[in-house]
Chains A and B, each alone.
Chain A
């Protein structure tokens, strides 16, 4: 079945450091890929998405590229801020089949000043 695997956390960085959070997926067909972010005490918010191979999603300085050949969608940011501290979830949607979202286990990011 479809699944998403992302790196375990927590990821601990100093402010202005470079961030990578790895995400790989297993899916039949042509999934859309997403990164959601959950700030403390809140629900999940869509951070960025990509709907086909080689698409790059970007938002708030974060980027991720849909790599079909490596089945990956790694999240990157060139310079993190304390306010980026949150839990990040990679997800896929097989919209042609069910339109459900399948989530990874989440990666907690902690950024220190």
Chain B
């Protein structure tokens, strides 16, 4: 089983719909991150959490929200999806002080 699991793996949704992407980890790491990947832009940080009570905005947080339900779970929500949120979304974890991030397999989201 994967250490960092994202669900769903693929999703097509309509403009204006609310959608949640989920991430769970079995690595016991305290830090979790949400990134989006777009062609030619690399990975950009949406939100990050250093522990259950610590949530921080990344460089592109507008239109997104997150919830850290437990140390092992970090979900990303699009309150009202729009087509330019079509992208590949990655969850990642790390242990404080190690600098190495472990990534899930990604969720491909298409907003039509």
CB of A43 within 8 A of CB of B106, answer: yes
Give the distance to chain B from A52, nearest Cβ to Cβ, in Å: 12
Instruction: Check B99–A43 contact: CB distance below 8 A.
Output: no
0/1 per residue, A77-90, Cβ < 8 Å to B? 00000000000010
Confirm or deny: A45 has a beta carbon within 8 angstroms of a beta carbon on chain B: yes
Chain B: minimal CB distance from A58 (Å): 15
What is the bound-complex CA distance between A67 and B43, given in angstroms? 24
B40 and A43 contacting across the interface, CB-CB below 8 Å: no
* Given A46-B101, A93-B99, A95-B99, CB of A100 within 8 Å of CB of B43: no
CB of B97 within 8 A of CB of A95, answer yes
Set of chain B residues within 8 Å of A93, measured between Cβ atoms: 99
Contact B105 A103, beta carbon cutoff 8 Å? no
Chain A residues within 8 Å of B97, by CB: 95, 99
The answer on a CB contact under 8 Å between B99 and A44 is: no
A-contact bits for B13-52, CB 8 A (1 contact / 0 none): 0000000000000000001010100001111110010100
Q: Chain A residues near B101: list those with CB within 8 A.
A: 36, 44, 46, 101
16 A–B contacts from the bound complex (CB under 8 Å):
A32-B99, A34-B99, A34-B100, A43-B103, A44-B43, A45-B103, A46-B101, A89-B42, A99-B50, A99-B96, A100-B45, A101-B92, A102-B45, A103-B43, A104-B42, A105-B40
With A34-B100, A99-B97, A105-B41 given, can you name 20 additional A-B contacts, CB distance below 8 Å?
A41-B105, A42-B106, A43-B90, A43-B103, A44-B92, A44-B103, A46-B100, A49-B99, A89-B42, A93-B99, A95-B97, A99-B31, A99-B50, A99-B94, A99-B99, A101-B43, A102-B45, A105-B40, A105-B42, A106-B42
A residues engaging B (CB < 8 A)?
32, 34, 36, 41-46, 49, 51, 89, 93, 95, 99-106
